[in-house]
Amino acid sequence: MAGYRAEDDYDYLFKVVLIGDSGVGKSNLLSRFTRNEFSLESKSTIGVEFATKSLTVDTKVIKAQIWDTAGQERNCNGCIALLCRYRAITSAYYRGAVGALLVYDVTRHSTFENVERWLKELRDHTDPNIVVMLVGNKSDLRHLVAVSTEDGKSFAEKESLYFMETSALEATNVDNAFAEVLTQIYHVMSRKAMENGENGNGNVPSHGEKIDVGKEVSDVKKSGCCST
């Protein structure tokens, strides 16, 4: 059972990344979870943003450091759009991540079609044990739904992902999605510790990697599209 604690009091730090196409609501999911805020006029993320929030899992205080970056494929200085995105989102963004929310917009089928490519990119840059939740956002727009719940579940089952539909606008399942990812990260690390015979009874996970935020953000910026 997860509960929330003070930001400056934590046992473990886990880095979680938000990925998915531009406009699917990643930034609003982040702001809803960390600040309980939502903006109807939010603009596409430029560069990298991150926020933190702490919660308790099995009496341990887990601090989530959640990273968000632009999801669009864009042309800049004549670059091929796809290569541009790959340059902008590099291994520096994924480095140290132990969890991810892979987000699509339930009203835009194209964002669901691109989920497979995002998942491949994630798996190419992270540990095989990373916990991934597929998130169908904007579930409040029921009359515009273009991706059924069944299709989302089916893809998640095929790729061994967790799955949840959310609405950042209505705050539906937002806390649940993040809390589930962090809980599963804790449990994965607990199992690994037990299998390795660490920490005695195996109930305490290894610490999530401590992130040098300044260096990480700098690395991402340096690897931006068409950088010189």
- This prediction's pTM: 0.78
Which residue bears the tokens 């700098």? Answer: 218
Q: What's the CA gap between 11 and 123, in Å, rounded?
A: 27
Q: What's the CA gap between 156 and 135, in Å, rounded?
A: 9
pLDDT of residue 207: 46
Judged against a pLDDT cut of 80, whether residue 131 lies above it is answered with yes
pLDDT, tens digit, for every residue of 164-207? 999 999 999 999 999 999 999 999 988 877 877 755 444 444 44
pLDDT of residue 30: 95
Number of separate domains in the chain? 1
For residue 39, the domain's CATH number is: 3.40.50.300
pLDDT, tens digit, for every residue of 154-165? 999 999 999 999
pLDDT of residue 170: 97
Residue 194 forms part of a structural domain: yes
Q: Which domain holds residue 36?
A: 2-222
Residue 132 forms part of a structural domain: yes
Judged against a pLDDT cut of 70, whether residue 39 lies above it is answered with yes
Q: Which residue has the higher pLDDT, 36 or 46?
A: 36
Residue 18 forms part of a structural domain: yes
Q: Token digits for 112?
A: 């669901």
Residue 207 forms part of a structural domain: yes
Provide the angle, in degrees to the nearest 10, between the axes of the packed helices 174-195 and 26-35.
Answer: 80
Residue 227 forms part of a structural domain: no
Residue 228 forms part of a structural domain: no
Would strands 162-165 and 2-4 be described as parallel, antiparallel, or unpaired?
Answer: unpaired
Of 8-12, 115-119, 129-133, 187-191, the one with minimum mean pLDDT is: 8-12
Q: What's the CA gap between 6 and 62, in Å, rounded?
A: 10
pLDDT of residue 198: 57
